[in-house]
Chain A
Amino acid sequence: MATLKRLLMWLLLFAPAAAIAAGPMGFDEARHLLNRTSFAANIDDISAFARLTREQAADRLLSWTGRGVKTQAPRWVNNFESPRRLRMMSEGERMQFQREQFEKGVELRGWWLTEMLTTQSPLTEKMVLFWHNHFVSSLQKVRSPVLMYRQHMLLRKHALGYFGDFLHDIGKDPAMVVYLDNASNRKGQPNENFAREVMELFTLGEGNYTEKDIKEAARAFTGWGLDIDSGEFVFRQQAHDEDVKTVLGRSGSFDGDAVLEILLAQPQTAEFIVTKMWREFVSPNPDPNEVKRVARMFRDNRYNIRIALRALLVSDAFYAPQNRAALIKSPVELIVGTLRQFRFETGETTPFVFVSRSLGQDLFAPPNVKGWPGGEAWINSATLLARKQLLERLFRAQEMRQPALMSMNREDGERVKGVGKLGADGRERFMRAMMDIHFDGGKWLAQFKSGDPLLTRVLLPADPVNTQIASLEGNELLRQLVLDPVYQLK
């Protein structure tokens, strides 16, 4: 009896947190989890997840990841265009070639957006986006949509795999070899670009290495190049520096892979990656002790990304009240989230390629090797107005019974940056795609009873700022909800 009493006491003292965590998570936690790990949480999914524990929910989301791309890839992805051919072209042929490359770039972005709009595993796409913003390369410099597609498929392959394998593969990824100039890194004349960024941005973070380490590492990466005819990675023995290098206190006649192993052996690498994942999924202010704990698990499990992500998604910090609605949606999250949440019908996704660019996120072309800074940097006067204008047009169009974004077409359609470069046929398809965007407001609203407070709780991660919202109904309610500043948060 005394033992039982002691046990009860123990339960009372220590169990509350555990008891809550072990029970079903409920509506708000489910909404929070789905909003952070997918583009938009709809009422059916929230209800289903509300019955799960945090652990069950995380496991279910993870079990849906990595099942491959459903959207048909552009037809040209296996036809690498050797720059050798470019050199022999006439001026006219070259211009034609460049226009085709531009169109392929648009098609590639549209393809990925389509996958994000239709996938059963939005978390997979969020992780691919995460890595696209970590192992950055850009079409602007690489100039080959084929190589950028191959890199994208590599990001998919490893998105929830093992970070160590990922790092070795990305170093030899042809688009990366071009982007960070390893293609011209030769014995006796090293190019430091890749060596610097691999330490500063891919593994250790600024301040955890010296300029000497960079110089030495650059020598180890000499010889990593690109076969100009096939676009495949190639190791050129004669361009490789065989001499002894000293990197982070270790010496040997290292090659590039050996240097990457040295970087992976640093505890700092795991902490750097986990910190970045924290900023993406949890909050703008990583908790150093929690980061250390998760980083240790990450490293102890051979850098299994899935394990680090799961640890973050079941953590108390993830669900802490101060971390709810604490992150700002990226442009792609805002666009894809809105289209998914409201079940917009769309044709080709081309218009949204240009919209996401105007909001500050041009897929396959991050601004520089550090990627999009994200967070509050997403929002300035220009981008906030562009976000609001997009939302207003999407919802105003519904009210006026005209195809969404048509008004955009009239006012600045021809001026949407880049559309002119699509050529007559491309512009025609762009306009048609704009007319294909439809939203059935009545049908969407029918999921909720009139005045149902759940509607606001589904759409917003916190109370709206606009106090008049409580008195609104129907389409006007939807419009004001998406125009509320809180809609920009997740």
Chain B
Amino acid sequence: MDRREFLSVAGGAAVAAWMPGAAFAQRAAGNYNNLLILVELKGGNDGLNTVVPYADGEYYNLRPRLAISRDQVLQLDARSGLHPSLQPLMALWGNRELAIVQSIGYPSANLSHFRSIEIWDTASKSSEYLSDGWLARAFAASPVPQSYAADGIIVGSNEMGPLAGGGTRALALTNTEQFLRQARLAVPMGSSRNAALNHLLKVEQDVAQAASSLNTNYTFRAEFPNHQLGNAFKTAAQVIASKAGVAVVKVSHNGFDTHSGQQGVHARLLKELAEGMVAMRTATQEIGRWDSTLMMTYAEFGRRPKENQSAGTDHGTANAHFVLGGRVKGGLYGPPPALTRLDGNGNLPFAVDFRDLYATALEKWWGINSSVALNGRFNPVDVLKA
């Protein structure tokens, strides 16, 4: 590789360009046999009612109507417990395959849905505007092998999120059979200088390639719950079972923007989440992939500790998230929510940067350099078995 090629590959990593050794390290192939599944909790999940600080009196002061009572919580340790709807996850917890990372966030949190999810998707600073997703940048530096059906698939959403931009081969899918039936209409026809047209041409190209290597030959014995998220996991599982797989799957779980009447809605959403993730575990175990699967939840933000007048919660900051998989070291990570140290808006301070989790996936899961994708050095969270 000559220097110019390297520069185009590494994008803006100007400093690294002066370190030939690092340059080759970045180009090293990642271990994309390891699958990453991202589960987006759209709208901003209420972390406090997901991982409940049930021994903290302040929690009950802030949530007179919405608090989960101590006797309902599924206790994890002497301080923290899960929302009762997450019962299906307790089997994973008992098996030490579920890590819960608390107080995740970033400095100068933005409370807008759109801006904050953009920050998460592009792994930018709060004050920085990037156009490419963090996975798109990672794959530009350490490409997923061409033999894969695609770099990643997005199920149940039209937003490319972390896979947006660059030359990423990302597919949006709802149903695999339908995709394969329709794919004959896609014909690869080159590229164009017209940006809109070029986008259309690239999508046709990606579809044609994916269709030639995906199939639905495998029928799962595992059953998927009959709701939107369950169907999304089912589609994802079919893609994973194909011989030519993908490196990343993103599924979306919608409806977490619970400004009013939160209780019932949130209970249902969490139940669906737990059922869906557990079904995915069963399915990947069935095809021998659970040990090479890492599942992580994320969301634009958590919600405000103090409930609002409408029995709901407003936009907040730091949040708790789940990391699960056959090679995850189960347990609680990160400090519990600091309810007595709220900021001027009544929001929580963060302790674990969300990019630390991304660094975990990039460095520890795929074995690739994370500083290009994350625009800096972040410390992986020690949630994986060696």
Contact = CB atoms under 8 A, between A and B. Distances in A.
Contact of B194 (A325, A375, A412): A325
A385 to B, nearest CB: 4
B22 interface: no
Contacts of A383: 158, 172
Contacts of A193: 259, 314
A465 B202 CA distance: 13
A382 B185 contact: no
Contact of A191 (B183, B187, B196, B308): B308
A379 B200 contact: yes
Nearest to B110: A206
A384 B112 contact: no
B194 A462 contact: yes
A360 B160 CA distance: 14
B185 A485 contact: no
Interface residues of B, number: 48
Interface in A440-490: 462, 465-466, 483, 485-486, 488-489
Given A184-B309, A191-B310, A485-B197, A206 B173 contact: no
Contacts of A211: 111, 345
B171 interface: yes
A485 B172 contact: no
A385 B179 contact: yes
A376 B196 contact: yes
A485 B204 contact: yes
Contact of A384 (B111, B173, B207): B207
A181 B259 contact: yes
B173 A462 contact: no
A186 B260 CA distance: 13
A384 B203 contact: yes
Contacts of A328: 196, 199-200
B72 interface: no
Contact of A382 (B174, B310, B345): B174
Interface string A230-272: 0000000000000000000000000000000000000000000
B193 to A, nearest CB: 9
Interface string B169-193: 0111110001101110111011010
Contacts of B173: 381-382
B19 interface: no
Contact of A465 (B111, B174, B197): B197
B339 to A, nearest CB: 19
> A382, A386, A485: which has the most chain B beta carbons within 10 Å?
A382
Interface string A382-394: 1111101100100
Contacts of A370: 113-114
A368 to B, nearest CB: 7
Given A184-B260, A485-B189, A189 B172 contact: no
Interface string A416-451: 000000000000000000000000000000000000
B204 A384 contact: yes
B206 interface: yes
Given A192-B314, A380-B203, A385 B182 contact: yes
> A325, A380, A386: which has the most chain B beta carbons within 10 Å?
A380
B194 A384 contact: no
A200 B112 contact: yes
Contacts of A465: 189-190, 192, 197, 201
Given A181-B259, A189-B308, A380-B154, A389 B182 contact: yes
B270 interface: no
A116 B111 CA distance: 37
A382 B111 CA distance: 31
Contacts of B114: 200, 206, 368, 370
Contact of A385 (B197, B207, B257): B207
A212 B308 CA distance: 17
Contact of A327 (B111, B190, B196, B210): B196
Contacts of A184: 260, 308-310
A182 to B, nearest CB: 11
A377 interface: yes
Interface string B101-132: 00000000001111100000000000000000
Given A181-B260, A191-B314, A381 B206 contact: yes
B286 interface: no
A284 interface: yes
B58 interface: no
A215 interface: yes
B195 interface: yes
Nearest to A382: B172
B223 interface: no
Nearest to A370: B114
Nearest to A375: B196
B382 interface: no
A211 B301 CA distance: 15
A68 interface: no
A384 B187 CA distance: 12
B159 interface: yes
A192 B309 CA distance: 11
Contact of A389 (B112, B159, B185, B310): B185
Given A191-B309, A370-B113, A388-B186, A325 B197 contact: yes
Interface string A346-374: 00000000000000100000011110010
A181 B312 CA distance: 10
Given A181-B260, A385-B186, A380 B158 contact: yes
7 contacts: A181-B312, A193-B259, A325-B196, A326-B194, A411-B181, A462-B197, A466-B189
Interface of A: 181, 184, 186, 189, 191-193, 196, 200, 206, 211, 215, 284, 325-328, 360, 367-370, 373, 375-377, 379-386, 388-389, 392, 411-412, 462, 465-466, 483, 485-486, 488-489
The 10 A-B residue pairs with the shortest CB-CB distance in the complex, in nearest-first order: A189-B309, A184-B310, A380-B172, A385-B182, A388-B185, A485-B200, A382-B172, A381-B171, A376-B199, A381-B207
